Structure 1
Amino acid sequence: MITARLCAPAYELGEYRDSVAELPELLADPRTAAELTSPAAGFDTYRWSDAPVVELMAEAVRRTLGDAGVPGDEVDLVLLATDSLPRDRSAHRDVAELLAEAGLTRATASTLGLMDCATAMAAVGTAASLVRDGSARHVLVVSGDLADHATGGERVVAGGAAIASDAAAAALVSATAAGLPVLGMAHHTSAGTGNGGGARRELASRVAAHRELFARLAARHPLRPEDVHAVLPSNFARNVLEIYLSDVGYGGDKLALGNVGRIAHCLGSDPLINLADRLAEAKSAGVSTTGATDGHLVLLGAGISHLAAVLLGARALPEAPEGAF
């Protein structure tokens, strides 16, 4: 079977940086402001943009293709994980401009949605399936959202557990380029989350949803918490993530939470941003792997009612020899 590799994750943040504490929503609600900016939750700054989302996407794509060493005209398919494209036919024009600017002359573009901030991880899993079965050699996954479009302009999101930022991210899923092997993907939708019923019921629903997601992931690829070096999640409040993930064995040092304060919740792009930063840190330290010695990585995208996780091998595979595909 062909191995699908996740290659060269890259991102572009909104060009403006502001203090979370200065958000009008939080100035009007001191109690929520104190909770979200406390060390336990960890939010400090967020990013925003007045450019179209495809401009942020184009920068992320440019970096990904350059780092992967794959020409744009060799990409077969582009999967766009976003809720921020225009709602009319102008979206076709914007995407066509994105493809042209990146030199993606052979690629077909399609959008994925309806899973909120879990969509990008579902897109990575879909791309890996297409590569494994030989339908494509290179699939580009591009995520990106602007709060003005994706959340109706709201910055306090996820039931008050996160602060939304504007950003885009990209990664190549490839049969031949060097990258981390994609070992499996699982997703779960819970009708019980995001529907009210009180804080206790909501917490129970979310804990149960995370248990089900990781059970499904382990059913597809044998997996125990001790097999995982790190979970790179959506950037919700640190204390919230600890509740959900400690319950399934992935709390403490296994949780990558460093970007919560630095960039807030970049919606569906968070896991790819966190992976890109992790790989960059490993590279600057002279480490040729992800920094893990004997464990896998899990990318976790979480929306209001949806979860999706991608399991990655700990060590990058080199480029496949010519003729391997």
Structure 2
Amino acid sequence: MNWSTDKSHQVGISAIHFEGGNRVEDIESITNAKEKFKAVSIPLNKKLLGSNSYLRNDLSLHEFITIPAKKTLQEFSQMNEPVDMVIFASANLAHIHHEPSLVCQMLKTLNIEQAIPIAVTLQECTSLLAAIDIARMYIQCQSYKNILVISFDQISVEDDRVKSFGVISDAVSSCIVRHSTSALHQIMCYENGYDIKGANGKDDFNSRKQLSQRVTQNVLSKSGATINDITKVFTTNFYKPVTQFSADTLSLKKEQVYNGTAMNMAHCVCSDPLINFAHYLKNEEAHSGALYLLQSYAPGFMASMVIRAN
């Protein structure tokens, strides 16, 4: 292994929390479900989907987003240090554009009005991992010390709930990114990739395979690890055959892949890998030195981040 021992450049994540929409809905209860699933060419079959239900939010967006963020900040408050930046990540920031005062209201509610807000989008489901990596870079160049990352996605129109890759849930996740000497999980490295044909819906299985393999090989090379060194891969809650295709492409063992929230939460867009990671940590102890891979993909996009337990 060739992990850096320079602690001044080590950055990690901690205080991970998440919240799904407050309404649990059966997938078969979706209005005109049969027609919608047929239109995107996937079966209305819970076993094949890998999901029984999805989560729909009917709270205000302000309340919804701040629920997990408050928990993250409460856990972080033990460090007795201020948050100096907030990065919002989403596959679609239209909600914020339509309500310009929303960010200011949330910062006030969270009592972090001094924090500078920025947003990361345009990378579909990979936007959260991109936001965490941007936070890492800000901290490594010593511009900021403690960054709150919040990912949120909510369907605007119920007709968009069913996609060719599965059923979408409304969800929010949050974490703190800071120097890893005081964070639970060190960010080893990050890699992403983009295929413009895929982003335009014109890719094929071969191009998806090449993108996935290239990104994964690059991130593992940066970390000095092999795929067999990875304890768990926390992945996207897509339609089960798509998830299996991704795992097979990377020669992952069945026990390495973890998407334990898929059955009850369906696809939480950007938040999937972080939610699956947090869900796993509630039931399993992270042993010091264990390596984890946070993985997110979307048509034309792929992102991977290697995390090491401190």
Q: Same fold (TM over 0.5)?
A: yes
Relative to 1, partners in 2 of residues 1:48 and 1:257: Cα closer, same or farther, differing over 3 Å? Answer: same
Query: Quick check: 1:112 aligned with 2:120?
Result: yes
Aligned to 2:205: 203
Relative to 1, partners in 2 of residues 1:281 and 1:90: Cα closer, same or farther, differing over 3 Å? Answer: same
Aligned to 1:141: 149
Aligned to 2:162: 156
Q: Over residues 42-98 of structure 1, what are the superposed CA-to-partner deviations in whole Å (9 max), with x where a residue is unaligned?
A: 11100011233332220111111122335797001100002244364732x110111
Aligned-residue offset at 1:133: 2.2
Q: Match of 2:169, SS?
A: coil
Aligned to 1:19: 26
Structure 1: which 5+ residue stretches go unaligned? 317-325
CA distance in 1, matches of 2:226, 2:248: 13
Q: Which runs of 4+ in 1 moved over 6 A?
A: none
Q: In structure 2, which of residues 170, 176, 183 is the aligned counterpart of residue 178 of structure 1? A: 183
Contact conserved, 1:53 with 1:85, CA < 8 A, in 2?
Answer: no
Relative to 1, partners in 2 of residues 1:98 and 1:39: Cα closer, same or farther, differing over 3 Å? Answer: same
CA distance in 1, matches of 2:125, 2:36: 25
TM-score by length of 2: 0.89
Query: Quick check: 1:297 aligned with 2:277?
Result: no
Aligned to 2:82: 74
- The one-letter code sitting in structure 1 at the alignment partner of 2:151 is S
Contact conserved, 2:296 with 2:302, CA < 8 A, in 1?
Answer: yes
Q: In structure 2, which of residues 267, 272, 285 is the aligned counterpart of residue 270 of structure 1? A: 272
Structure 2: which 5+ residue stretches go unaligned? 1-7
Aligned to 2:99: 90
CA RMSD, aligned part only? 2.3
CA distance in 1, matches of 2:44, 2:209: 20
Query: Quick check: 1:128 aligned with 2:136?
Result: yes
Aligned to 1:227: 229
TM-score by length of 1: 0.85
- Aligned identity (percent) is 19
- The one-letter code sitting in structure 1 at the alignment partner of 2:300 is S
Relative to 1, partners in 2 of residues 1:36 and 1:274: Cα closer, same or farther, differing over 3 Å? Answer: farther
Relative to 1, partners in 2 of residues 1:47 and 1:7: Cα closer, same or farther, differing over 3 Å? Answer: same
